[in-house]
Amino acid sequence: MPKQNFALFETAIGPCGIVWSARGVAGVQLPEVDERATRLRVRRRFPAAKEAAPSPEIWRAIEGIVALLQGEPRDLNDVIIDNEETPEFNARVYAIVRTIPPGQTITYGEIAERLGDKLLAREVGTALGQNPCPIIMPCHRVLAAGGKTASYKTGGFSASGGVLTKLRLLSIEGAEPGGPTLFEKLPLAVRKRG
């Protein structure tokens, strides 16, 4: 295993982490409750990684992530990923996910169809659940079938905060992953009281 380093950086949604090797970005950590918890999660996921100052290439990746999380429609496809340890199926899924522009979504089934077998939707979900580099490989832009009309059908999200974090990321990007929110579904009389 190549030497790995990591750094924490502040974003609009809280402290994130990034892990890299000489081959590229090996991991991104979305925020935990605070910086300490984020650092602990990075160390748990990448126990051999040492905290270090980012290289110029990693700084560019960080700047792109920060901008995207501030609502800028950034394309992070120029960020090089260290996918040496990534299973071949997962790498194919991640390659497709990286083509989804900010503010847009597709379904697990649509990715499965692009892979040549619409019955692979569950395997696509499993691969996305193992995504080491969220935001750069934007798994939050992948929804369950029907996810465009019902917010409870967005599909899972393994980051801290789960589906709420996924919805927040989509909202920052201007995507509309669901139909009416819980409050919009309430009767008008209830909404006016609130």
- Catalogue the active-site residues: 139
If we measure between CA atoms, which residue out of 95, 74, 75 comes closest to residue 83?
95
Residue with tokens 């847009």: 104
If we measure between CA atoms, which residue out of 129, 142, 148, 36 comes closest to residue 89?
129
Gap between the Cα atoms of 166 and 65, Å rounded? 15
